[in-house]
Amino acid sequence: MSYKLHAVLAALAAGLLFANPMVLAQEATPGAAPVAAPPPPVVPVFTVDKTSLANGGVVTVTGQAAPGKPVYIEVFNENPVTGSFFDSRPNKETGKTPYKLYMASEIPAFYRIHVPRETQPILDDFKKEGRPWSYSSALSNTGGEVVYREPGKHPITAYQASLQAGIVGSRGEVLPTLDDKERVRRSMQIMKARFRTVDKLFAANVDVKEDGSFSAQIKIPEGSAPGKYFISAATSKKAVSETVVVENKISFPIRYMKNAGTSLNIFVPFLIVLALATFGVLMGAGGGFIINPIMLMMFPIPHNVVAGTVTPTVLFSQASGVVNYSKIKFISWKVGITLGIAMLAGGFIGPVLTTMITADQYKFVFGWILFILAALMFWQTTPGYMAKNKKEQAILKEFQKRAEEAAAAKAAKA
């Protein structure tokens, strides 16, 4: 029995040695050096030609990275703005629409990823897709995901939206905190909803040579947020350079709109609104319905910020209009107060709805409302309509008579 036991043990030992020949090597050469770990990735290094800008400009980046590696550059501004994304697309697996609102209050006011120049055809394909283009797919296909870091760091609050919540002016029920992976994914959707176009989030202008040297021009557009801009380069998620800071300065009459993330010359909208408000009061409105689309077309301001900014400005024109219209007795207070109550209720619902629709949806609905109103008003000025509405003509004549009497009384007192 002892002989057989020794034979079995010897066979097992031989099998182990053949299965793992390193055991023999280690026993034969005690104290041998362990296998060397792979070298750390080569971190890009770069310099910039300037560290200060005046209301935008171009910064030239030149640096050195590992040969044969593509280089990606992340640029973002220190000022935070609020962004939102309303998920109203049916789930591909369940077919149900989630109706969830995702809001982030600390996304950068300016954000752009610079990718190698040879990826321009990829970006052109995403531009052809139009509005439905996918930011996450663009990051993946260009390789820009290796430097997508800053937007995914900040907290995102998720809400379960509902019709009842919208009626009372609420965003909905607060949902559990997102995990890291989901937070990064949702941050991409918020960034796309905020900046909208491919060109605002990408620039394919990084030139990389065979020896690893690279260069790129970082353009900070006029009207961008002031303050510090942070620039970093990377060839992979582990090979990220030190951050270089460039400061963008603005001065009067340029003023920064914190909630819009943009700067503008305040005299330009002042003169525009002066003219539009004058016409708006003539129409019995504050001019907001005209100011709103003009601001959207002329300035890079989010639609919900435009709507919120224009609303209080109407108070000034409306207040002066109320005083002057009351002097010539053109106000029906009973009807006006009734309509005011309805507007008060709408004032609670409207601001919530603006966070749940895109700028394109906002412009589409607003444009159609203006078009229909314009068509109705034009129709009411046609000779055929006026002939059938003699009562309206009598009212207009009465208004003209009262206006003339008020003007005459004012002149007599003077």
pTM over 0.85: no
- Structure confidence at residue 22 (pLDDT): 41
Confidence of residue 23 (pLDDT cuts 50, 70, 90): very low
pLDDT at 167 over 80: no
Q: What tens digit of pLDDT does each residue of 28-67 get? A: 455 555 666 677 788 999 999 999 999 999 999 999 999 9
Q: Where are the domains of the chain?
A: 45-249, 266-379
- Structure confidence at residue 166 (pLDDT): 65
Instruction: Name which residue leads in pLDDT, 30 or 9.
Output: 30
Highest-scoring range by mean pLDDT, 20-29, 91-100, 364-373: 91-100
**C-alpha 221: how far from chain center:** 16
pLDDT at 264 over 50: yes
- Structure confidence at residue 326 (pLDDT): 76
- Structure confidence at residue 8 (pLDDT): 39
Q: How far apart are CA 260 and CA 305, in angstroms?
A: 6
- Structure confidence at residue 25 (pLDDT): 40
Q: What tens digit of pLDDT does each residue of 212-263 get? A: 999 999 999 999 999 999 999 999 999 999 999 999 999 999 999 998 999 9
Highest-scoring range by mean pLDDT, 31-40, 126-135, 301-310, 371-380: 126-135
The CATH number for 45-249, chosen from 2.60.34.10, 3.40.50.720, 2.60.40.1930, 3.40.50.920, is 2.60.40.1930
Residues above pLDDT 70, as percent of the chain: 81
